[in-house]
Structure 1
Amino acid sequence: MSYETLIYALEGGVATITLNRPERMNALSFTLLTELTQAVAQAQADGARALVLTGAGGAFCSGADLIGDGQGMPEDLGALLDTYYRPAVQALADANIPIISAINGPAVGAGLSFALAADIVVMARSAYLMLAFANIGLVPDAAATWLVAKSAGRAKALEMALLGEKVSAEQALDLGLVTRLADDDTVLADATAIATKLARGPSVALGMIRKQVAAALNMTLIETFEVEKSNQQAAGRTRDFREAVQAFAEKRKPDFRGE
């Protein structure tokens, strides 16, 4: 499948999706959002065992394209979110493979949402995050409220959302919004190295882990136990678990196949 607003590549079990509207700082047009949803599905259909999400040029994503695809913005922004943003957010949340984002530059507005929706977030030292919605009279969307509040807490989420100020890479790391920092010229390579390591792992278990952690954020202790039990039953029946046990007995590294 070819794409107009992003670049899709698959190598060594790692799919890389690059938002590719550098002339607009990779702003989220309707076409880009639709293609992002499609590309996440394609990665899994192609057998990718990890996914990297990044941006072309000097930005990760500047947020919603207020001009759109030459159509302007509709009056009902809620319908816009349902039609274009929800499917893309849902595709990332529902993915059965680990997702790593390489924040190569500014991640603003809904662009912040897609950057932080990853399981592991690698951020360039010169990049920044910004919940810029209030600056244009809007509220955070694309799950930004949940993503920031769950990671940084209520007080910092309110500060970021109300003031709409830049958050540096160092601040983002201290707040727990991102996983690690990288030099500007190695951020994508660092993210890809992580993805490659994960792509060689027990993919079924890794896919369940990412969803299990997300579910635990909204459940009680015992509810979480029940989810863990169900997932462990499934993981215990995989070929990768049997291989790991045999490899341990034979004192060698397991050969995981994602089965």
Structure 2
Amino acid sequence: MAYEFIDFKINGAIARITLNRPDRLNSFTAAMHAELRDALANLGDARVLVLAAAGRGFCAGQDLNDRNVAPGEPVDLGETVERDWNPLVRALAALPQPVIARVQGVAAGAGASLALACDLVIAGRAAKFIQSFAAIGLVPDTGGSWHLTRHLGQARAMGLALTGEPLPAEQAAEWGLIWKCVDHDALDSEVEALAQKLAALPPLGLAAIKAMVRTSWDRTLDAELDLQRDEMRRLGFTQDYREGVAAFLEKRPAVFTGR
């Protein structure tokens, strides 16, 4: 597929997708969703995905001009959510690769939810996360209510969702909503260093960690202990585990192959 609204590159083990509608604050259209779905399905042997955005903002969510309805005309918003946003969140969660969101500016509405749907968020100090749904009579979709509540607890999730008050990146990091807040000048180097670090680690182990952490809410402690046992058994028989131990004992860098 030729891409018009995103930029997609794979350099070595790192895939990079950049939302590229800066004139519309990278708000999504159906065509942009289709391009992103195609890119996510073609990550190949990449071990890490960086999701970034062009321009001054990360993403303003849904482009309301894309629905072609007259002001005041009824529209089935659930259709858009079911067709585009829900599959996107599910795809990001199901990827074996860790997904890093690089947030340089405002992430609003579904754009904020999209960032939170990634595995790790690094934001510049000028970035803000805005739950802008209540102002137009909607709910935090694209996984927003789920991620907010689990990251922050009910009180803070409720406050952000009901008031729509912008949450600065520094406070988001202090609250545990995102992984890290850094100065804008350091944003690219921080994202690159994290991507390179993850790309050099054993991919089977990272995929297992991602899957376990994302689904741990669904299990009891006993079930979690059983799953840990099963995964340790499975991963202990991999070549990557043997390579990691050998490299540690031989005091050399490990080279992991994903086998």
> Same fold judged by TM-score > 0.5?
yes
* Aligned counterpart, 1:102: 102
Q: Relative contact order, CA 8 A, sep 6+: which one is greater?
A: 1
> In structure 1, what is the Cα distance between the partners aligned to 2:234 and 2:223?
17
- Secondary structure at the aligned position of 2:66 is classed as coil
When residues 20 and 74 of structure 1 are mapped into structure 2, their CA distance, relative to the original with a 3 A threshold, is farther
Matched, 1:65 2:63: yes
Please report the RMSD computed on the Cα atoms of aligned residues, expressed in angstroms: 1.6
Q: 1:44-100 CA deviation, whole Å, 9 max, x = no partner?
A: xx2100000011000110111111165679722112211111111111000001111
> In structure 1, what is the Cα distance between the partners aligned to 2:231 and 2:65?
44
* Aligned counterpart, 1:237: 237
1:201 and 1:257 in contact (8 A); partners too: no
* Aligned counterpart, 1:35: 35
> In structure 1, what is the Cα distance between the partners aligned to 2:127 and 2:33?
22
* Aligned counterpart, 2:5: 5
- Secondary structure at the aligned position of 1:147 is classed as helix
Runs of 4+ in 1 over 3 A off after TM superposition: 69-74
> In structure 2, what is the Cα distance between the partners aligned to 1:177 and 1:248?
34
Residue 117 (structure 1) shift:
1.5
- Secondary structure at the aligned position of 2:192 is classed as helix
* Aligned counterpart, 1:130: 130
**Percentage of identical aligned residues:** 39
* Aligned counterpart, 1:168: 168
When residues 224 and 74 of structure 1 are mapped into structure 2, their CA distance, relative to the original with a 3 A threshold, is farther
* Aligned counterpart, 1:49: 47
Q: Note the residue ranges of structure 2 that are not aligned, 5 or more in a row.
A: none
2:123 and 2:182 in contact (8 A); partners too: yes
> In structure 1, what is the Cα distance between the partners aligned to 2:68 and 2:234?
48
> In structure 2, what is the Cα distance between the partners aligned to 1:53 and 1:71?
30
Residue 252 (structure 1) shift:
2.3
User: How many residue pairs were aligned?
Assistant: 257
* Aligned counterpart, 1:156: 156
Tell me the TM-score normalized by structure 2: 0.94
Q: Which amino acid aligns with 1:37?
A: R
Tell me the TM-score normalized by structure 1: 0.94
> In structure 1, what is the Cα distance between the partners aligned to 2:74 and 2:182?
38
